[in-house]
Amino acid sequence: METVAVKIKMGHLVPVLLAAGLFVGVTALAGSSTKAEQAEQELRVVLAAKPDPAHGERLFAICTQCHGGSGQGSASGWPPQIAGQHRSVVARELVEFRVGLRLYDPMSRIAGRHVLGAPQDVADVAAYVAGLTPVQDDTETPTAGLNQASSLYVARCQDCHGADGQGSDAGYVPRVAGQRYEYLRRQIEDAATGRRPDMHGQHDALLRDLPVGVFAGLAAYMSGLHRAGE
């Protein structure tokens, strides 16, 4: 993994160094600020950068080790599909792993300075990932509880995640249609119990009063939204 990272950086040493200087500057400015403020500042720099998808494609080689050759994720939902995820969402998640706001050590290392050294790197790989074609999760998902899940989704989730589960690039809302069922189920459980502390959108309040039994149905419904819309 290290070899790939070094090879990629050598070809782009000058821009990487320039951009890294900027990134360090931004982080230093953040000084005593909270991780959330730091993430917000870094994300602003990333989203202002003009993406270079060809460089993003080279960086993506590292991601394929876990997320699969075309970003499709694994059936176990660990790791999730990232293909076709909105650029703003990929960028924000990478920055949050980077500053330690979202917790998963291997992703924090990948999004950290050794691999995605500069905001330009994050911008490039996010644009490339967003351009990949998402696939529908093909694992068997529960069919029980889908009606209840559908009403819940319409009442509590649809405003943000969209009637067809497409999310929104402008709103930083992830596309969930087609996403790995197992991944969604785990995220919903984690959000309900506060184990995903970076989760925006008041999910704890939206999920807290629901019996845990409905989470699997919700995840299956969300994953299948794309299919239902066809």
In the complex, which residues of this chain contact ligand HEC (CB under 6 A)? 59, 62-63, 65-67, 78-80, 82, 85, 90, 93-94, 104, 106-107, 110, 116, 125, 129, 156-157, 159-161, 172-174, 176, 184, 187-188, 198-201, 203, 206-207, 218
Q: For the CB of residue 186, give the shortest distance to ligand HEC in the complex, in Å.
A: 7
CA distance readout (Å), 101 to 79, 169, 218: 18, 21, 26
* Residue 65 or 151 having the CB closest to ligand HEC: 65
- CA torsion angle for 211, 217, 220, 222 (degrees, to 10)? -70
Give Cβ neighbours of residue 71 (< 8 Å, ≥ 6 apart).
60, 63, 64, 81, 82, 83, 84, 129, 132
Structure tokens at 4: 């790939």
Q: For the CB of residue 72, give the shortest distance to ligand HEC in the complex, in Å.
A: 13
* Residue 22 or 160 having the CB closest to ligand HEC: 160
Q: For the CB of residue 26, give the shortest distance to ligand HEC in the complex, in Å.
A: 20
* Residue 63 or 118 having the CB closest to ligand HEC: 63
* Residue 7 or 29 having the CB closest to ligand HEC: 7
Pairwise CA distance, residues 174 & 119, whole Å: 21
Residue 9: CB atoms within 10 A of its CB come to 19
- CB neighbour class for 214 (10 Å; exposed up to 12, middle 13-18, buried from 19): middle
Q: For the CB of residue 129, give the shortest distance to ligand HEC in the complex, in Å.
A: 5
Q: For the CB of residue 17, give the shortest distance to ligand HEC in the complex, in Å.
A: 19
* Residue 195 or 227 having the CB closest to ligand HEC: 195
* Residue 32 or 123 having the CB closest to ligand HEC: 123
Q: For the CB of residue 179, give the shortest distance to ligand HEC in the complex, in Å.
A: 6
Q: Which of 199, 201, 203, 205 is nearest to 102 (CA)?
A: 199
